[in-house]
Amino acid sequence: MESLFDTINVRDLLSAQDLSDPTSPLSAPDLHLLIQRLESQSLQIRSQVQSYLVSHREDFARLFSLCNDAVSQTREVSDDVAAIIRLLSDRPIDAEVREVVSEMKVKKEELKVKKELLGLVGTVVALNKGLESVKEALRSGRFEFAAQGLKELKVALRIGEEDDREPLVYGLLRKEWSQCFEEIQEVLVKYMEKAVRFDGDLNQVEVKYQLEVENVNRIQLQTVLEAMDVVSILEYGLAKVADLMIKYVITPFVNHGRPLSFLEELHQESAVLKIVASPDIKFEFLDGEFLYSGILLFIKFVYRSICLQKSSWMQCFGRLTWPRISDLIISSFLSKVVPTDASKLPDFQKIIIRTSEFEAALKELMYISSDNDNRLSNFAENVEVHFAFKKKTEILAKARNLLLECDFSIPQEYTRDGSIWKNDETSVQSSSHVVNLLFLSERCLVSKAAKELMGLIHQTLQDVCLSSTRVALEFYQTARDAVLLYEVVVPIKVKRQLSGINQVAVLLHNDCLYLSQEILGFAFEYRTDFPSSIKEHAVFVDLAPRFQLLAEEILQRQVHLVIYNLKEAIDGADGFQNTHQMKQFESAKFSIEQVVFILEKIHIIWEPLLLPSTYRKSMCTVLESVFSRIARDILLLDDIAADETLQLQRLIHLMLENLSSLLESLAPVEQTLQEFPAQSPEDLIPSLRKIRKLSELLDMPLKSITSSWENKELFSCGFTVTEVLFDY
């Protein structure tokens, strides 16, 4: 059939000329021709199909019969399904099945819960029986059984692993277990107290192996210890015994006023350790042999008689007692025999050896751990550090005492009646309080505390040059700390004196200047001899500026106090007004006398103590403030009467006359001529020339004043145009 349809082709039904132009439409004749040809072709195909069907009639008959059978079977299946659906609709068996299955699950869960409850009840009964058996064993003295039972019950009750979701009965059982635990703990500790007792009258420790408490007889000490070990209270049970041994045995042996020794007695049912005096042995422990042998004898007694040669028990006892025993040995023996002199450090080697042997013997007895518990030998081997620390403490304590005990008094020769005021140069040079300033080529007086402190620091730095690296580093830090002690202690000690004008403040200024100079010299004097590892870190230059600033601060505070007092004294003159009146003149005169008194006071204090250059500079500052203030007040006066000018002249002359010795002290001395150009007091104090000239101007005619201004004489004396015009 497919071949029939494949042979139909429209192009074949048309003539070739009709297909020459595919785009041109077909004409009506062509279309009629095409229709005719298609009808003819269709008749042919229909004829061929009919012939084919006739020739295959049997095949098509079998095919149609097969299709009819399939349709019949489909109808039968459909009827069967409809019948089943009707059956299920009339009786819902699936619901019944679900109910049965659900009921089976519920019954199964109930059975499981009942089995679990039955198991829980059995467990609770078993645990309760275990607790009862523990109580009974405890009452009958079978401590090993009771301890083992408690240990097993601890695991079963999961002590320490409580869960809120557990049955309430577990909490009750745990409470019962805790009561049993406390009871056995109390009983075992009571047995231990009976087993180990100290007799103060006989001065001995007795250990009993057979124990009797509350009608329970013949309990072995070993049984008690094993029971405590099983329930993990061995450390608790031995704690009181350890305290007893430390208090009554070890502490008296180590700290007793006279040496003691131990005497051990062993019996069948007990052991005794007697503490007896040793009159034949010197008090000093020397190299530690006597001390270590005595403690070792005590430890062996504990090992044999209390811990019964069981290493785990011995380790427990060691954990309780060794920290305190080692601290006692260090504080009462090792720290005291640390040498105070570096030359004796090699002699300490014998003590190091004895200490190492002592710790080795303790490790063999399992008293201390064999791994890292070497606190005694570590302390002994670090003797250099301890020596340095001990020396440091000693040096700083000595430095502190020097500073606190010093009263910063001035030597007699530096008082007004002393040799300094009498120009006794020999006495000055020989004074023990005078020191050379390294970088100023001058000498000054310092306090006894500063000089002795610097001597102590120099000795410490010399020790740095001769010591090992670790000791040298400690000594270097000690030297720095000693220097800083002065800065911390002294200003607070003399705080009251620093707030006034006195010699202590000037002496403190000299001390700070001296310390700063000495500190700057440390590097030049000692650095080359320092150990190589210290040279890179040793620094002192940072300390010098601190003392230089402190010295300058103290001096400036003194200068400001003096200027303030002088200002108050000048204020009492009321601007030198109306001095022609007797009352006003007396008031002004009193103010001038006060100024002179204050200046003479600081002259007496400063000149013998301060460096000449410092004295001149400070005194000139003070005098400049005085003269400039007085000159200003006088120049501000208006309409001065003739009598008033005479009185003002008199006051100025009185002041300058009384200050003549002070002004002479400011003159240059011979040894400073090369360093400083020769300067008169007028050069150092500009206002001095001005006030002298002012004294002349007070009775000078106007023409002379004008002439002096024109020839610049007044200008050279410090007068300004305003002052001269105002004076006119």
Mean of pLDDT values over 667-686 = 61
Domain ranges across the chain: 204-381, 389-413+434-553, 573-666+680-725
Look at residue 714 in the predicted model and tell me its pLDDT.
Answer: 75
Q: What is the pLDDT of residues 517-545, one digit of tens each?
A: 999 998 888 888 888 888 878 888 899 99
Q: How far apart are CA 270 and CA 591, in angstroms?
A: 100
Instruction: Measure the CA–CA gap between 213 and 189, rounded to whole angstroms.
Output: 11
- Tell me the pLDDT tens digit for each residue of 337-363: 887 776 677 777 888 888 888 888 998
pLDDT at 576 over 90: no
For the residues 692-711, what does the mean pLDDT come to?
A: 75
For residue 627, what are its two tokens? Answer: 């003269």
Token pair 């240059």 is found at: 668
Mean pLDDT to the nearest integer, 478-489: 92
Q: Is the pLDDT of residue 600 over 90?
A: yes
The residue ranking higher by pLDDT, 426 or 575, is 575
Q: In this model, does residue 3 exceed pLDDT 80?
A: no
Q: pLDDT tens, 367-413?
A: 888 766 788 888 887 877 888 888 889 999 999 999 998 888 887 66
Q: What band does 274 get if pLDDT is binned at 50, 70 and 90?
A: confident
Per-residue model confidence (pLDDT) at position 12: 62
What is the band of 191 on the pLDDT scale with cuts at 50, 70, 90?
A: confident
User: What CA–CA distance (Å, rounded) separates 691 from 724?
Assistant: 13
Q: 425 pLDDT exceeds 80?
A: no
% of the chain exceeding 70 in pLDDT = 80
Instruction: List phi, psi (to 5°) of 281.
Output: -110, 135
Q: Which two tokens stand for residue 45?
A: 């195909």
- Mean pLDDT, all residues of the chain: 80
Segment among 132-141, 395-404, 470-479 with least mean pLDDT: 132-141
Q: Say which amino acid occupies 284.
A: E
Residue pair 185/230 in contact (Cβ under 8 Å)? The answer is no
DSSP 8-class letter at 278 = -
Q: Which two tokens stand for residue 644?
A: 């008033």
Is residue 427's pLDDT more than 50? no
pLDDT of 673 > 50? The answer is no
**CA neighbor of 275 nearest in space, from 187, 177, 206:** 206
Given a contact cutoff of 8 angstroms between Cβ atoms, the answer to whether 250 and 329 are in contact is no
Conformation bin of residue 286: beta by default, left when phi > 0, alpha when psi is -120 to 50: left
- What element of type H or E holds 272? strand 270-277
Model confidence at 283, in pLDDT bands (50, 70, 90)? very low
Cα–Cα distance, 654 to 589 (Å, whole number): 9
pLDDT of residue 89: 65
84-103 confidence digits (pLDDT tens) = 777 666 656 666 777 778 88
User: Which residue reads 């809120």 in tokens?
Assistant: 164
Q: What percent of the chain stands above pLDDT 90?
A: 16
C-alpha to C-alpha distance for 479 and 253, rounded to whole angstroms: 39
As a whole number of angstroms, the distance between CA 226 and CA 232 comes to: 10
Predicted confidence (pLDDT) at residue 257 exceeds the cutoff of 60 = no
pTM of the model: 0.60
Under the banding of pLDDT at 50, 70 and 90, the label for residue 458 is very high
Residue 16: pLDDT band with limits 50, 70, 90: low
**Model confidence pLDDT, tens digit, residues 115-135:** 776 766 666 666 667 667 667
